Structure 1
Amino acid sequence: MSMPPPQQPQQPRSTGVVVGLAVVGLFAYIVVNVFVGVVAVSMATNVVLALAAGFLAVGALGGGVVLLSLRRPWSKGLGLGLMIGWGLVSIVSAGWCTGLNPGLYA
């Protein structure tokens, strides 16, 4: 009689951590976006608005990629949340809140 092959230990599921931190990352991006937007609009020059838009894009997309590359459940969720937040805010505000709309600089 042959013995069954040894089974690998089960990895704990981290779906809840990823989804929960994605929501946290989305709201964290919105908070940072509001703060940066208020500061940039108070100065109201095209250069400041462009720098704020660049900061928001690099912070959300670049930070999201860096967090995803860490390959831990908490960092995956937070990185995805930042990138999803940037995308949703860009779509919902037609680019006004993320500096993508060219009418912002006219």
Structure 2
Amino acid sequence: MSMPPPQQPRSTGVVVGLAALGVFAYVVFNVVVGFIAVSLATPAVLGVAAGFLFLGAIGGGVGLLLVRTPWAKGLGLGLMIGWALVSIVSAGWCTGLNPGLYA
């Protein structure tokens, strides 16, 4: 008689909790980068800040998803969700997506 394989513990709570933490972390990251970019306030600096925010959120999120542990998956999803939510709620003003920023 063979034994069934051991059950893996569910990590849904860890992923969801760290996704919420990732959203909060992105908002803090966005505020810090935004204040620095607005204090310099040239279109080139705003463009670099927008690229930095995008790469930090999406690139960092994908990188963390590739680690494939529950904490990294939650944090990576949270960063990407945070970038998307801030982009939608602010109509792209806070993430550099709105073309009116550069006019």
Q: Do both proteins adopt the same fold according to a TM-score greater than 0.5, normalized to the shorter chain? A: yes
- 2:63 & 2:39 partners in 1: Cα distance? 31
Q: Which has the larger radius of gyration?
A: 1
Match of 1:75 in 2: 72
Match of 2:100 in 1: 103
Match of 1:92 in 2: 89
Alignment of 1:1-106 (within 5 A): 3=1, 5-106=2-103
Q: Structure 1 stretches (4+) deviating beyond 6 angstroms?
A: none
RMSD (CA atoms)? 0.6
The total of aligned residue pairs comes to 103
Give the C-alpha shift of residue 14 in structure 1: 0.3
1:30-63 CA distance string (max 9 Å, x none):
0010010011001000010000000000000000
- Amino acid in structure 2 at the alignment position of 1:51: V
Unmatched runs of 5 consecutive residues or more in structure 2: none
Q: Percent identity?
A: 75
For normalisation by structure 1, the TM-score amounts to 0.95
- Amino acid in structure 1 at the alignment position of 2:6: P
Unmatched runs of 5 consecutive residues or more in structure 1: none
For normalisation by structure 2, the TM-score amounts to 0.98
1:15-41 CA distance string (max 9 Å, x none):
000000000000000001001001100
- 2:16 & 2:57 partners in 1: Cα distance? 17
